Every structure is written in structure tokens, then in C-alpha cells.
Copies of this chain bind each other. A is one copy, B any other.
């Protein structure tokens, strides 16, 4: 069973959320529509729904990420789940426990959902492959492989501004090579039928898979940003760059940083996105990050609705009779 099949039951319903790859437009639209209906909850006086009351969600973070962990924690609490935060780096793996033993033990505590963040590609898939049938696994970022909830909140943000995907021209700018965000987002945009997806990056920061995904490759923002509807700036993953592929942050900003001048190349109503946290003056100028075209903070807000949606859908599908999930 491949990773792609792993996240669906025999009737094609979502049991885990590991990767955007292999999902259909139907799956993505179900998530986006559910998130839309949940988006208003945060504006109510009482921001809670009883959907996951009595369920236990475990944040299994093998790699620190306060921001991502926090949005999953808030999403789970707003669905009335109990949340357990396990920072595994400081936990029993230091006593030599293997990943599988850790999984088996937390599973035995009768939890219902694992939110997994790991520095190694495939960790969430490994979990989903070995976990008991009643447990849902969500990938909160695994190595350079995938960050599918980020891709969904990005497409959700785009759809709320520009719902006609076939008409859209979208540019993704920066360190594509080390970005699990870019990879997942390109898959999502392809599945949703986006008109044109471009990547803009120096040759050294372009992975080999880019051309297989049918994206347009640009090395200079001057050409790549022209007439686009959406600009997605990537974070320069300093901690992920193992050796100097770029002379300096200053030079990166000079060549690729999003300034007001470069933004003017895009359509007048283009939106500017970034997964955060932003490096001001490295990927993006503050005037753009804080300017009227920026939807960067909307992305944060949308991230909670998207995670609530994915939690509701996957656990809802687990609640059906066991034989259906076999």
C-alpha cells in the first residue's frame, strides 16, 4: 500500500492527512468547504464547537515549532478535544525508545489523533502505516517532503480572494529546494486546476522534481512576477541549508526579495503570501509585508479553520463502522 492509498479508506474517504499528492479535487474541495463553514466560529462570542468533545489529540513534535503546534492546539481545543503536547526530543526517546515503541505507547493511551512533526521525510506516513485503525494521523511537516496543512491553508486563502482557479497565475519565490511548503502547495494547485504555476528561484535552490510537476521555471523575478495574481514568498530556511548555496542574505534580497517595485510587476490586485515567520529584508520588504496586498496574517487565521476542518473530516470518517475502513 503506497502512502497515497494509505490516507484513504476503501471508499476513498480521508482517514489520515499525510500528503496532498494522491488526493482528488473532491477531497481538497471538501476540506476547503468545511474550513469555510468553520471560519466564522472564531468570530462568535463562544468560539467552541462540541465536535471532538471526549477525543484526545496528541501533538507529537519531534522538531520544535511553536507556531505550527499552537495552531493545531487551538484548532483541537476549539473543537472541544483534550490536547496533549509531547515534545519528543526531551522525552523517552532520550531513554533509547524507538519511534515505533513511542507510537505504540501513546496509542495504548487511547488517543484518537496524532499530529506529527518530524525532521525526517516519511515520518507521518510511517506512523499512519503502523497505527491502530481508530487513530487519525495528520502530517504537520516532515523533513523536506510535505507540509500539507500549510498547502491547504494557502489554497484556502487564495480561494477566499480569487476563487476562479483556472484563471489564476501563481508565482512561488525563493528556496524551493528545501521547502516542504512549496512542494505541497504545487501539488494542491495542480489538483485544483490552477491556470499557471510558476517558481522563481536561483538554479541552486531548485529541486529536480519541479519540472515534472508542470510548473514554469523562472530565475529572475523581473520576468516571473509579470502579471501574476498571487505571489507566495518562501521563508529562507537558514537552518536547513547545509552549505552556502547563496553568498549572503543581502544578495538574496537584492536578487529575489519582494519589494514594492517588484510587486508592481504583478497584477494590480495581486495578493502576497508567506508561510511565516517572515525574515524582513531577506525575502520581503516590510512595506510589502505590512502593505495592502499582503494576506500573510489572514493565512495564520485561516490555518486554524483548515486544521479544524481536517480534524473534523478525518475523525468523522474514522467514526464509521470499522468494516467500512478495512
Contacts and interface: CB of A to CB of B under 8 A. Distances in A.
A53 B45 CA distance: 9
A74 B81 CA distance: 12
Interface residues of A, number: 49
A321 interface: no
A108 B301 contact: yes
5 contacts: A48-B82, A56-B74, A66-B91, A105-B300, A109-B301
B44 A101 contact: no
A66 B92 contact: yes
A297 interface: yes
Contacts of A154: none
A26 interface: no
Contacts of A115: none
A162 to B, nearest CB: 20
Contacts of A300: 105, 108-109
Closest 6 CB pairs of A and B: A46-B54, A108-B300, A66-B91, A42-B110, A108-B297, A97-B277
**Copy total for this chain:** 3
A116 to B, nearest CB: 16
A243 interface: no
Contacts of A105: 67, 276-277, 297, 300
A55 B106 CA distance: 25
A110 to B, nearest CB: 4
A70 interface: yes
A251 interface: no
A64 B92 CA distance: 10
A45 B319 contact: yes
A155 interface: no
Interface in A52-94: 53-56, 64, 66-67, 70-71, 73-74, 77-78, 82, 84, 86, 90-92
Given A66-B86, A77-B82, A108 B277 contact: no
B70 A304 contact: no
Contacts of A33: none
Contacts of A255: none
Contacts of A43: 110
Contact of A277 (B90, B101, B107, B304): B101
A279 B97 CA distance: 7
A96 interface: yes
Nearest to A49: B54
Interface in A277-292: 277-280
A95 B283 CA distance: 14
